[in-house]
Amino acid sequence: MIPLETTNKVDGNQLNRLEFAIPAQPAEKVRPMSKYNDSATISDSAAPSVCKLAFAAVTLLAGCAQTPERTVSEASAPVEAAQFEPAAAPVAPAEAAPVSVRADAPLRYIVKKGDTLWDIAAYFLNEPWQWPEIWYANDQIANPHLIYPGDVLTLVWRDGRPMLTRDQPLRVDRVSPQVRELPLDEAIPTIPIEKIRDFLRGPRVVGAKALDNVPYVLAFGEAHLVEGEGSLVYLKRMPKEPAAMYQGVRQGKKYIDPVTRRFLGWEVVPVADIQIQMPGDVATGLITRSYRETRPGDLLIEPPMEHFESNFFPHPAPQTADVYIISVFEGVSQIGQYNVVTLNRGAEDGIEVGHVFDVMQAGRKAQDPYTGRQVVLPERYAGELMVFRVEDRVSYALVMRAEHEMHVLDRARAPDPYR
């Protein structure tokens, strides 16, 4: 089979679209088997009977080599189709969503500081969650899945499929090949970190037993009802060997799965960082950082991990049933772009960091003008969200696209490129 050769044409600075040319094949080089005849395979001097006998033998051998599952007749199939018989049945193409490249996709893009992977994917794709389908990871480059400011991304076509390649900036030192080493935190993040920074120290969901027999705030050094940063606190129920630091939290609402009625966990709202000064039956501590006023009865739990993995690939969520938004950070009534939401499914249900969901706005009710009855309208697409943190029974996602307002109890489903 003759490979297709792709050529990029750049006309000064005017071209911002990828063009490619496919060389024409000779008209008679590849022909359907139905066009084969005696004169194409046997010399003119051969006897007609010999020609027919040889042709029949070749045809019989070719028929024996066919697999029983083949459904395309040899009379209509090109010769090349018989040269690449798969060893096993191919995967049904319906499983993979078609990659949709934007009509105005740039030929080259230089990554800038402040970019996010989602933003860059949106420059090239109609559906940014299809990024893994076009990204080419060069194993000869350190951290091939990470992208840094200054990298040059080039859109090419290989075997008829779009692909993005990464070129590193030119180096002044060319004495010997060297691998560029940059700190991981300099790589561009997948989502805008500033949009979730407040959430990282905001309310979260903990397991059912996470609040059992934990220490709590008894009183303050001064006779105040609330205290803040720099204040002395008295603590009860401390372990014999306490940790050096705790996070003071306030117990919030109880999360229940809206479908299964399963208990998902407790909401806890961070109020302060507390450093233990002296252990004991009544221990003392110091509020080193205050997020909200601290009150008697606030609980002490181990602080969450400060590190947040910001480099991950967006990819479509599985066809998981009954995924719903159960809360929104800061309790807004209408959810929009860059709001953080909580989903009622977590690691136990196969949810992963990077999973992208379509959000389907729950159908509102309308009164039938003739019957007077309330009719539930069909749900409609409202936007997209991407999971960035996963717990056992819940996960947290950032709304990346909002075409209509979203609400708590709106359904999340696997993304549909055909919507």
pLDDT per position as a tens digit, 230-288: 999 999 999 988 999 999 999 988 999 999 999 999 999 999 999 999 999 999 999 99
What is the spatial distance between Cα 283 and Cα 240, in angstroms, rounded to a whole number? 10
The values of phi and psi at residue 402, to 5°, are -135, 110
The values of phi and psi at residue 90, to 5°, are -70, 155
What average pLDDT does the segment 93-106 reach? 74
> Is residue 170 assigned to a domain?
no
> Is residue 346 assigned to a domain?
yes
Give the domain-ending residue among 24, 52, 77: 77
Tokens of 48: 């007609």
Clarify whether residues 259 and 206 are in a common domain: yes
Tell me the pLDDT of the chain averaged across its residues: 75
Residue 400 sits in which domain range?
315-413
> Is residue 259 assigned to a domain?
yes
Tokens of 331: 């309790």
pTM above 0.75, yes or no: no
pLDDT of residue 139: 59
Q: Could you tell me if 357 and 384 are in contact, meaning their C-beta atoms sit under 8 angstroms apart?
A: yes
Q: Name the percent of the chain lying above pLDDT 70.
A: 70
What is the spatial distance between Cα 201 and Cα 89, in angstroms, rounded to a whole number? 50
Clarify whether residues 373 and 286 are in a common domain: no
What is the pLDDT confidence band of residue 170, given thresholds at 50, 70 and 90? low
What average pLDDT does the segment 160-176 reach? 65
- The closest alpha carbon to 317, from 180, 129, 178, belongs to 129
Give the domain-ending residue among 301, 334, 363: 301
Is 162's pLDDT higher than 70?
yes
Question: H/E/C letters for each residue in the chain?
Answer: CCCCCCCCCCCCCCCCCCCCCCCCCCCCCCCCHHHCCHHHHCCCCCCHHHHHHHHHHHHHHHHHCCCCCCCCCCCCCCHHHHHCCCCCCCCCHHHCCCCCECCCCCCEEECCCCCCHHHHHHHHECCHHHHHHHECCCCCCCCCCCCCCCCEEEEEEECCEEEEEEECCCCCCCCCCCCCCCCHHHCCCCCCHHHCHHHHCCCEEECCCCCCCCCEEEEECCCCCCECCCCEEEEECCCCCCCCEEEEEEEEEEEECCCCCCEEEEEEEEEEEEEEEECCCEEEEEEEEECCCECCCCEEECCCCCCCCCCCCCEECCCCCCEEEEEEHHHCCCECCCCEEEECCCHHHCCCCCEEEEEEECCCEEECCCCCCEEECCCEEEEEEEEEEECCCCEEEEEEEECCCECCCCEEECCCCCC
One-letter amino acid of 117? L
In angstroms and rounded to an integer, the radius of gyration of the C-alpha atoms of the chain is 31
Clarify whether residues 330 and 368 are in a common domain: yes
Q: Could you tell me if 331 and 202 are in contact, meaning their C-beta atoms sit under 8 angstroms apart?
A: no
One-letter amino acid of 294? T
Clarify whether residues 203 and 292 are in a common domain: yes
> Is residue 233 assigned to a domain?
yes
> Is residue 175 assigned to a domain?
no
Q: Could you tell me if 271 and 294 are in contact, meaning their C-beta atoms sit under 8 angstroms apart?
A: yes
Clarify whether residues 352 and 402 are in a common domain: yes
204-206 and 263-278: which strand pairing?
Answer: antiparallel
Give the domain-ending residue among 77, 108, 130: 77
Q: Could you tell me if 183 and 198 are in contact, meaning their C-beta atoms sit under 8 angstroms apart?
A: no
pLDDT per position as a tens digit, 14-55: 334 334 333 444 444 333 333 333 333 333 444 444 434 344
Clarify whether residues 238 and 286 are in a common domain: yes
One-letter amino acid of 134? I
> Is residue 376 assigned to a domain?
yes
Clarify whether residues 231 and 323 are in a common domain: no
> Is residue 246 assigned to a domain?
yes
Q: Could you tell me if 99 and 161 are in contact, meaning their C-beta atoms sit under 8 angstroms apart?
A: yes
One-letter amino acid of 312? F
Clarify whether residues 370 and 289 are in a common domain: no
Query: Which is more confident, 139 or 72?
Result: 139
> Is residue 163 assigned to a domain?
no
Report the number of distinct structural domains present in the chain. 3
Clarify whether residues 348 and 281 are in a common domain: no
Query: Which is more confident, 76 or 284?
Result: 284
CATH number assigned to the domain comprising residue 356: 2.40.10.410
Clarify whether residues 334 and 383 are in a common domain: yes
Tokens of 365: 């009710």
Clarify whether residues 215 and 264 are in a common domain: yes
Q: Which of 292-306, 350-364, 367-381 has the lowest mean pLDDT?
A: 292-306
What is the spatial distance between Cα 71 and Cα 74, in angstroms, rounded to a whole number? 9
pLDDT of residue 199: 81
